[in-house]
Structure 1
Amino acid sequence: MTYASRRVGFAALTLFATVLAGCGGEKSDAGGAADVASLATASVTPSASASGAATIGRPQLRLDTTDEEENRLWYAYHLCLRDNGVQENKGRSAGATGDGPGLSLDQSGEPKAAYVACANKLPLQPPELDQAKNPNYQAQWNDYVQCLRGRGMKIHSLPDGSGWTYDDGVADPSGGYDGPTLSKVERECTMETFGGR
């Protein structure tokens, strides 16, 4: 799965999504699968400025945003947080080089000033994946989960509708997919169900 919150599960989203992805909703690396994936798993929501424009200047993800583009945007956001005082989890970030994935940050949401300073770098999820903007979101989410199940994944939606999790007691709930292949399957199901394809 990808570094940042992938757009669905995504992943996830994805979350092959998240303010604290390396800071919170990060996908697992190719060596292991995350237990839960969700569309929007932001644990810190930037508040609107005095002008009420919390989204002005923020990068907008699209359903067809490539993993490389998304990783670059999330990395810029996480780098900003780190540079503004959010503590880095050095052990988890040790494998990161250059501007690639791997920057892991403390998930406490502190210092709040860092999140305010970096709010304009926090990527916006695609409008299709925003429950407030997409009146068909719930039906499409259900179709998305069914698409993943149809491709062999043993998953079910979480009761609050915030994401999905693997079924209990299944020998290989991922359907045998490794990280990159799972990310590809998630992207295909996302485009199929949320992209109208």
Structure 2
Amino acid sequence: MRNTKPPSPAVRSTALSVCALLAATVLTACGAGDGGGVKAAGDAKGGVSTLETGSPAPGGKPGAPTSTKVDSRRPQLRMDSSEEEINRLDDAYHACLQSHGVPMNTERAKLAGAKQASPVQGEGITKKYKPAFDACLVKMPLEPPELDSKVNPHYTDDYRVYVKCINNAGMRVHMLQDEHGIAIGWTYDDDHGSNGLSDAEQTKIDKKCKTEAFGGKKG
């Protein structure tokens, strides 16, 4: 999951992911941080899980709106992208943000044993360091086309299957939709929605269900 948008604490669970979500590793991918409470696609712990391509959220990968010109230069993830590949691309993106002065969650990275920290989350950070996010957007990985509602005509139906699979695996979550009925992520049903599962277990469930629901190959 890649994991996007600053929800209230009650909407916790951004980006495995995201992120994403859309998405990736437990602690370092998709900019999963301490301040936003948003779950990135592929990040099985946190807040709202989002899969939208080109719609980075404060809890996922904040930055400027995508453009065709920039997107054509961004690395493209696949449904069968390995964790190693995803982590490498995420680290490159986060390293770019760090080199441009964006504050990093260094303590969290240290606890996770990660070499590259992810950015601190929050709308204030996104606004204050917008030039940095604009400059580094070209390094932010694009989600697989299957996870883009603008490309996949069955996106929301696939998302329902994805969420059902997560629930069948023992987590307690529900899908979130925008005003047009398009899936924008999922969140835990309550504070015990993780059902005692570890971060690693949730990440494994998330990736398995995402892969099955959106028809990708197993990496």
**1:128 CA drift (Å):** 0.3
Q: CA deviation at 1:46?
A: 2.9
Distance in 1 of aligned mates of 2:190 and 2:64: 35
Task: Please report the TM-score for the alignment, with normalisation by the length of structure 2.
Answer: 0.70
The 5-angstrom pairing of residues 21-40 of structure 1 reads: 21-22=32-33, 33-40=45-52
User: Percentage identity across aligned positions?
Assistant: 35
Give the match for residue 175 of structure 2: 157
Query: Is 1:6 matched with 2:21?
Result: no
8 Å contact from structure 1 (residues 13, 39) kept in 2: yes
Equivalent residue letter for 2:170: G
Cα distance between partner residues in 2 of 1:42 and 1:67: 20
Deviation of the 1:103 alpha carbon: 3.1
1:135 aligns with 2:149: no
User: Does the CA contact (< 8 Å) of 2:102 and 2:132 recur in 1?
Assistant: yes
- Rounded Cα–Cα distance in structure 2 between residues aligned with 1:181 and 1:48: 32
What whole-Å deviation, never above 9, does each CA across 1:68-88 have from its counterpart, x for those lacking one?
Answer: 211111111011011012122
Pairing 1:71–2:87 present: yes
Q: Which runs of 5+ in 2 are unaligned?
A: 4-13
Residue 180 in 1 paired to residue 200 in 2?
A: yes
CA distance in structure 1 between the aligned counterparts of 2:48 and 2:24, rounded to whole angstroms: 9
Count of matched residue pairs? 188
1:53 Cα deviation (Å)? 0.4
Within 5 A, what are the aligned runs for 1:105-120? 105-107=120-122, 108-109=125-126, 110-120=128-138
Amino acid aligned to 2:197: Y
CA 1:55–1:176: 2 relative to 1, 3 Å: same
Quote how far apart the aligned CAs of 1:126 are: 0.7
38 and 48 in structure 1: CA distance in 2 versus 1, 3 angstrom threshold:
closer
State whether residues 30 and 118 of structure 2, in contact with CA within 8 Å, keep that contact through their aligned partners in structure 1: no
Q: Structure 1 residues 7, 132: closer, same or farther in 2, change over 3 A?
A: farther
In structure 2, what is the Cα distance between the partners aligned to 1:196 and 1:80?
29
8 Å contact from structure 2 (residues 165, 209) kept in 1:
yes
- The AA in structure 2 aligned to 1:82 is Q
Distance in 1 separating the partners of 2:75 and 2:137: 10
Instruction: Return the index of the structure with the highest Cα Rg.
Output: 1
Q: 1:42 aligns with which of 52, 56, 59?
A: 56
TM-score of the superposed pair, with normalisation by structure 1 = 0.77
Q: SS of 1:76's equivalent?
A: helix
More helix per residue: 2
Root-mean-square deviation (CA, aligned residues, Å) is 3.3
Match of 2:6 in 1: none
Give 1:187 deviation, angstroms.
Answer: 1.3
CA-CA distance at 1:26 after TM superposition: 5.6
1:81 and 2:97 correspond = yes
